[in-house]
Amino acid sequence: MNEASSSLLSVTFATLKKDIRLEWRSKDALNSMLFFSLLVVVIFSFSFDPLAEESRLIVGGLVWVAFLFAAVVALNQTWARELRNQVLDAYRVSPAPANALFLAKVLGNFIFVIVLEALMTPLFVIFYNLHVLGPAWQLIPLALLGTWALVVNGTFFAAMSLRTRNRELMLPLLLFPISIPAVLGMVAGTTAVLTGDNPAHFYIVLLLTYDVVFTTACLGLFETILHAE
């Protein structure tokens, strides 16, 4: 391992550790995400009140819409935190690689959203009376790849919308159009597994392609965004 990659890794893990410790002590992002998606579950269950067969068809969409909105809550906070005390400016002038900061933020958000999903999935099962008909293990790669797709672009666009006038509003406006193929893959894949009608492999491959393409693009362009002056 050469020096450049070891410094990338060490900076990444130092930033990640700092972010997780901050989140562990404040629990800002996780609490707001949890409460937000709980509200979405409850409101949707009031407005639809589906039978078990129907819920299998719609719940894939509901789950991912809830997680998408909740992830935006966390993503909006991820860079705003660094603006206080000019941390981001200090980072910009430091010799640490920009991609290390980006990777740390993505990994941090990924962990938070995965924790949220692990906590919320039982609630969805209870509220919508779910019983999976397809191979349930396929939900795990779908969830991991789908979450990565949301978080990697979300972190990038959150850094982008930091420079705009109304940054909280800007993030979903930038993120949602680009995320359409990923959301389609997640929703259709989850529905395919829940109903067991058709295989979900195609959607897993689609999400994997999406992840590879956009992770590469984010890593290639993040330095430009961070240093854009």
Largest CA distance in the chain: 58
Query: Does residue number 219 form part of the binding site for other proteins (CB under 8 A)?
Result: no
Long-range contacts, stretch 215-218, CB < 8 angstroms, 24+ apart: 215/148, 215/152, 218/102, 218/106, 218/152, 218/153, 218/155, 218/156
Q: Which of residues 46-65 bind other proteins (CB under 8 A)?
A: none
Which tokens belong to 216? 């590469």
Name which of 17 and 163 has its Cβ closer to other proteins: 163
Stretch that binds other proteins, among 16-24, 108-116, 122-130, 169-177 (CB under 8 A): 169-177
Query: Does residue number 212 form part of the binding site for other proteins (CB under 8 A)?
Result: no
Of 48, 70, 68, give the one whose Cα is nearest residue 59: 48
Binding-residue total with other proteins (CB under 8 A): 28
Give the CA distances from residue 197 to residues 60, 141, 190, 202, 214, in Å, rounded to whole numbers and listed in that order: 14, 18, 11, 13, 30
Query: Does residue number 178 form part of the binding site for other proteins (CB under 8 A)?
Result: yes
Query: Does residue number 210 form part of the binding site for other proteins (CB under 8 A)?
Result: yes
Name which of 95 and 177 has its Cβ closer to other proteins: 177
Contact set with other proteins (CB under 8 A): 153, 160, 163-166, 170, 173-174, 176-178, 180-181, 184-185, 202, 206, 209-210, 213-214, 217, 221, 224-225, 228-229
